[in-house]
């Protein structure tokens, strides 16, 4: 259910959100609906049949349709999932900041000069580093070394000992970074891999 319904719906929501000013591409939306109807048909046969005939105007029954195939040259790229999650978080932070500025502007007696104007065009440059700084590289190596594949957990005591030995524990950025690695990778159910 998670892979067949919830994750595609989250992807659709993200696509709708990032294309709100141009609108979604109709052909892509219909392809999405077709694939979603096919993948949830075993769970929701009546609803899927309705979508198949009424929305998609397909001939025959969805029960006799072929299951969707991945492209022949498809290669999984887990890094793209991490990049997409980063972009979703960045976009959410930007929109939250816009809302906060708009609320401040709307507040009676609030400053009007130099305050965010939602009517003006917006632009943003995002710069992506090709490698981690040394402290992050060391932190990733330590977390990977403390990762137990059988339990899917990181030995926090081992991480703390190694960070202390390298003098990294004094850096206040290290522990939040390690925590971010743990949350990001354990939520996605695969070991820590930084590429």
Q: What is the DSSP string of 41-76?
A: TTT-HHHHHHIIIIIS--SS-GGGSPPP---TT---
pLDDT at 124 exceeding the cut of 80? no
Nearest to 103 by CA among 115, 88, 92, 114: 115
Percent over 90 (pLDDT), the chain: 32
Residue 154 near residue 146 (C-beta atoms within 8 A): yes
pLDDT tens for each residue of 125-164: 878 788 889 999 999 899 888 888 888 788 889 999 999 9
What would the mean pLDDT of 59-71 be, rounded to a whole number?
Answer: 91
Q: What is the mean pLDDT of the chain?
A: 83
Q: What does the pLDDT read at residue 10?
A: 87
């Amino acid at each position: 259910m998670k892979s067949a319904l919830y994750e595609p719906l989250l992807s659709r929501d993200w696509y709708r959100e990032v294309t709100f000013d141009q609108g979604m591409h109709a052909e892509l939306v219909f392809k999405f609906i077709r694939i979603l109807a096919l993948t949830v048909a075993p769970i929701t046969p009546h609803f899927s049949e309705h979508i198949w005939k009424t929305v998609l105007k397909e001939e025959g029954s969805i029960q006799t349709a072929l299951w969707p195939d991945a492209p022949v040259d498809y290669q999984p790229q887990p890094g793209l999932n991490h990049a997409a999650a980063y972009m979703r978080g960045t976009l959410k932070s930007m929109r939250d900041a816009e809302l906060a500025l708009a609320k401040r502007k709307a507040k009676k007696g609030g400053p009007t000069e130099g305050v965010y104007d939602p009517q003006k065009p917006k632009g943003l440059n995002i710069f992506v580093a090709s490698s981690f700084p040394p402290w992050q590289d060391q932190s990733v190596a330590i977390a990977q070394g403390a990762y137990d594949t059988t339990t899917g957990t990181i030995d926090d005591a081992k991480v703390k000992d190694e960070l202390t030995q390298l003098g990294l524990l004094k850096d206040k950025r290290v522990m939040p970074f390690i925590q971010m690695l743990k949350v990001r990778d354990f939520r996605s159910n695969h070991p820590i891999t930084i590429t």
